[in-house]
Structure 1
Amino acid sequence: MRLLLFAALALGPALRLLAGPSGALAPSGTLVSGHLAHPKSPQVEVAYGYNVLTREAVAVATAQLDGQGNFRLALPGLKAPTEAEFRNGNESTPLFLAPGDDLHLTLDAAKFDETLRYTGRVAAANNYLAETVLKFDVGMAHNPLRQLEASTPAQMRALVDDYRRQRRAFFAAYAARHPVPGIFRAYVRQSADFERADYLLYYGSFHSVRPALNTGALPAGYYDFLAPLRPAQDSALAMNNGQYYGFLEMYGPLPASDPVPTAAALLASTRAQFGAGRSRDLVLARYVYTQFNALDAAQLAPWMATFRELNRDSAMARTLRARYAQAVQILPGHPAPAFTLLNNEGRTVALADLRGKVVYLDFWGTWCHPCLAEIPASLVLRQQFAGRDVVFVYIDVNDKEQKWQQVLAAEHLLGPGGVHLRAPDQQVPAAFQVESYPTYWLIGRDGRIVTPRAPRPSAGAETVAAIEAALKG
């Protein structure tokens, strides 16, 4: 099972293409149809186009199920082989589609991964994806990262290499029995290679911040796995390969000595690995884009100037400009984005209802271990400001109500000084540009932003001082 985790920031509406169960949409040459038993929702979606910088779907074909659970939809604008995603409710599965494909699927959504089957053109490729989800992803029993903390660099390298060998062997055995197209063979090979690189980068990053593990220094040449990946990078990007994006998420050897690297320094640091193709443009844009997680609009200005000097991609430029415009709106002194949500008792609470009090805003989730680790310090902080004009507002994100309510009770979060709200979608987190959890904000008595990215409860005296300053402001 793959849960849908949507990006927190919505930089533009997806192109949503509606079709009824009869497939009234004009034929595009690429079709997906199927039958669902026990569907999770009355409609299905296929996402097949993505903003390469944010990974948000920008083309989503949607069809309503008929009374028998059947659907048929067309995918206009599909111009090249690509990774895509089929969705029903909170369930999803990867697809591999090319122009002219006519793919039919059947499944019982009550046992989503176990019952998924395909027929039609490229059925062999998609049946392989369904089988590999069951073999390697569900439960992650074979995943080498399960042994992350106990492994030396040499042991982790061996585990990761063996995991890739298992994937390759599984595909070789499958391809010997089923006709899979050459482009899909390249896609699978690239997926395994970039997954391996992702895991090795993750281990290197983890190792660098956990010296107490005493697993030995990273050996010379540890990162030699990067060089062989270079020829496949632009091809993987063109196919929207999810494993390639995972690799890019972990790739980080960019200049750190200069607080704002020059354009020349950024180019030099990326040229060796990413050459001169579109992957280079994406890595440079991502490097600037990630600064939005830690800097306000005033601090971002020189980064944007550097990006404008380097950029060759108008779509990435539009994404960054839109993000920067949002950042300007949440500078200190600006009105905090308005919201109205239901609390744990089912009553509506609006930010405007809290005018006259300082609001310490906490974006969290029961699935977020760092969030849960902050709870004891948060309860202490609430006690310190008990009876004063401070309200602690907790906005839970990406949780079902029952789980949320259970954790509120189990962690003793209910009580004076706390307001507990649940965000049913990404609208409120997106308005505050929340992209990591937990994230904290301080809002003044007048409803204006005091401190974006306020210190955590566990910061102790620093957090107390920030709240005291807000009370005096």
Structure 2
Amino acid sequence: MSYSIRFLAGWLLAAGLTTLSVGAQAQGTVTLTGKVSGRTNDTIAVSVRENPLDPKEQITYARLDEKGEFRMALKLDGPARADLVYGDDVTDLFLEPGDALDIRFRGSNMAGSVRYKGKGADANTYLTDVAEQFIENDGFQVLPDNIMLYEPGFLSFLDYRRKEENKFLKNALEDNKFSEAFRHYAQAEIDYSYANDRLTFPDLREQVVATEGRLKMSPAFYEFLNDKSLTNNAQAMQSEMYQEFLLNYVHYLANSNGKLRTHPDFYQACYDIAKTQLSGPVRPIIMGRVLQESFRFGHVKQSAAMLADFRTVDTKNRYAPVLQQDFDTHKAFAIGAPAPEFRLQTVNGDSVSLRDFRGKLVYLNFWRTTSGLSLRDLPYAADLAKKFEGKNIVFINIALDENEGAWKQLVTSKRLPGVQVRATGGMRSPILRAYALDDVPAYFLLAEDGTFLNTKPKRLSSRAAVDEIKESFGKASTYTSLLSNETAK
């Protein structure tokens, strides 16, 4: 599962903020004016992401005058989550067409000193107060301490936090005039922070608390998911926490049906769940989120088939172009894509090509003799090769060394096992570009048919590398069989 943890909420929202329309709303203008005391930068910016599946942001800049004052205007189609950015400092905004905000803060500490006046000030003051009261308070966060709790204690913590947050919101509603859109947003942030933290608790705890095994939850732990209003809630559309919860909910349902991330049809199962169990405007968004996961971790042919199906759902073509671009970006290194061919010289002066090892599992290790991390992995590489001696796998070690003599001396003196080859040109070698490498060490696991099976396998020094390799034998044929069955349907 992917996680949206409360102690990280400020950073998660700052990473990309979404403009989500609720029904048909006319485009309007938001005006922002203000002053920076003791300015440390010459510009200020507001960042809005119009498409929840597109990482590109709409950024509007304003230059500060000699007094530190600024003015900017931006167009919005409806209520929007946004970032106010000043240097390295970021704070959250909630903007609606027609807002006219006056924003003032100290240049040395925007997030801690920002104050608002004008239309829209109440909502943004509330966000600032929530951050100070809850997000920046470790006592209300899952990490680092509350994750150590067991089920009863963790549920007590979540219930208490939700109670306090609801009390805080209730008091704010009595003292301020919030718009309907913001009221729905504020409530959704509370409801779905609770739901998401509860849903992901067992998985997150298993990862963080390494000294204990996975907790076995009581049957009542997941009963909150029986509330169908949680999954199809049009009033929560502007909450990123809502979308994060739905993605994790889809993962949970797939796991409950026996589909794990390591299974070839995991993303297809998630896609089908999102398609059949969700409705309304959030449905294509979550289907698209699953597709984006599949583009990175699923089989390229399976992803292509799901993308084609998605076009029948996205009838207004709002998300499909963005997803197509994302697919095109990742397809060259997706599972099932053919690995770039090469022919390189061995330490003995012979030449070998990747094609020579067709029919075997291939572990590629890109390294060089001047890389400390690469040298540290040498004994682990030898141990791994010994463990799989006689098995249907070959370890190809590709050195990106310009100094052939130094490479040969190290390989022969250390009696390095596996296939030892060198790419001429070192870090300027064509193979570096072919495999999109920035540095070494880098590893790839290739299937018996010469296609990518894992573009980021466990490092040679990782204890989990052995189990990962064992599980990879014959996996390509499993994908092929699965895809053939789906085509037959």
**TM-score, structure 2 as length reference:** 0.62
In 2, the alpha carbon distance for the partners of 1:185 and 1:453 equals 43
Match of 1:259 among 233, 258, 264: 264
Amino acid at match of 2:291: V
Amino acid at match of 1:169: K
Give unmatched runs, 5+ long, in structure 1: 9-13, 16-26, 337-356, 362-374, 393-420, 422-430, 444-448, 467-473
Match of 1:95 among 93, 96, 113: 93
**TM-score, structure 1 as length reference:** 0.64
The alpha-carbon deviation at position 192 of structure 1 amounts to 0.4
Higher relative contact order (CA closer than 8 Å, sequence separation 6+)? 1
The corresponding residue for 2:478 is none
Indicate how the Cα distance of structure 1 residues 166 and 43 shifts in structure 2: closer, same or farther if over 3 A, else same.
Answer: same
Larger displacement relative to structure 2 (116-125 or 314-323): 314-323
Indicate how the Cα distance of structure 1 residues 206 and 317 shifts in structure 2: closer, same or farther if over 3 A, else same.
Answer: same
Indicate how the Cα distance of structure 1 residues 50 and 379 shifts in structure 2: closer, same or farther if over 3 A, else same.
Answer: farther
The alpha-carbon deviation at position 106 of structure 1 amounts to 0.4
The corresponding residue for 1:380 is 376
In 2, the alpha carbon distance for the partners of 1:440 and 1:39 equals 44
Match of 1:320 among 316, 319, 323: 323
In 2, the alpha carbon distance for the partners of 1:262 and 1:141 equals 36
Amino acid at match of 2:74: L
Deviations 1:346-366 (A, max 9, x none): xxxxxxxxxxx97459xxxxx
The corresponding residue for 1:73 is 72
The share of aligned pairs that are identical, in percent, is 21
The corresponding residue for 1:53 is 53
Query: Equivalent residue of 1:34, what SS?
Result: strand
In 2, the alpha carbon distance for the partners of 1:377 and 1:201 equals 38
The corresponding residue for 1:233 is 233
Deviations 1:421-455 (A, max 9, x none): 9xxxxxxxxx9699xxx995559xxxxx9873243
Indicate how the Cα distance of structure 1 residues 180 and 461 shifts in structure 2: closer, same or farther if over 3 A, else same.
Answer: closer
The alpha-carbon deviation at position 197 of structure 1 amounts to 1.0
Query: Equivalent residue of 2:178, what SS?
Result: coil
In 1, the alpha carbon distance for the partners of 2:457 and 2:268 equals 31
The corresponding residue for 2:144 is 146
What is the 5 A alignment of 1:446-461? 452-459=455-462
Query: Equivalent residue of 1:277, what SS?
Result: coil
Larger displacement relative to structure 2 (297-306 or 209-218): 209-218
Deviations 1:28-57 (A, max 9, x none): 531112111344532222123332124x25
Give unmatched runs, 5+ long, in structure 2: 1-7, 20-26, 343-363, 383-396, 402-426, 428-434, 446-450, 470-489
Amino acid at match of 1:253: Y
In 2, the alpha carbon distance for the partners of 1:139 and 1:440 equals 39
In 2, the alpha carbon distance for the partners of 1:287 and 1:301 equals 13
Number of paired residues? Answer: 365
1:133 and 2:131 are equivalent in the alignment: yes
What is the 5 A alignment of 1:6-17? none
Query: Equivalent residue of 1:253, what SS?
Result: helix
Match of 1:180 among 165, 178, 181: 178
Amino acid at match of 1:280: R
Query: Equivalent residue of 2:90, what SS?
Result: strand
Indicate how the Cα distance of structure 1 residues 143 and 207 shifts in structure 2: closer, same or farther if over 3 A, else same.
Answer: closer
In 1, the alpha carbon distance for the partners of 2:329 and 2:32 equals 37
The corresponding residue for 1:62 is 61
The alpha-carbon deviation at position 179 of structure 1 amounts to 2.9
The alpha-carbon deviation at position 265 of structure 1 amounts to 8.2
Indicate how the Cα distance of structure 1 residues 442 and 218 shifts in structure 2: closer, same or farther if over 3 A, else same.
Answer: closer
Indicate how the Cα distance of structure 1 residues 186 and 433 shifts in structure 2: closer, same or farther if over 3 A, else same.
Answer: farther
Amino acid at match of 1:260: D
In 1, the alpha carbon distance for the partners of 2:210 and 2:380 equals 35
- Report if the CA contact (8 A) 1:28-1:74 is conserved: no
In 2, the alpha carbon distance for the partners of 1:261 and 1:97 equals 38
Amino acid at match of 1:177: D
- Report if the CA contact (8 A) 1:86-1:92 is conserved: yes
What is the 5 A alignment of 1:458-469? 458-459=461-462
What is the 5 A alignment of 1:258-407? 259-260=264-265, 266-268=271-273, 271-272=276-277, 274=278, 276-295=279-298, 297-298=300-301, 300-308=303-311, 310-312=313-315, 314-330=317-333, 331-334=337-340, 359-360=366-367, 380-381=376-377, 390=399
Query: Equivalent residue of 2:298, what SS?
Result: coil
What is the 5 A alignment of 1:113-132? 113-132=111-130
In 1, the alpha carbon distance for the partners of 2:437 and 2:253 equals 24
- RMSD after superposition: 4.5
In 2, the alpha carbon distance for the partners of 1:143 and 1:461 equals 31
Indicate how the Cα distance of structure 1 residues 335 and 83 shifts in structure 2: closer, same or farther if over 3 A, else same.
Answer: farther
Indicate how the Cα distance of structure 1 residues 3 and 70 shifts in structure 2: closer, same or farther if over 3 A, else same.
Answer: farther
Deviations 1:57-99 (A, max 9, x none): 53222212222221111112x1222222211122111111111
The corresponding residue for 2:417 is none
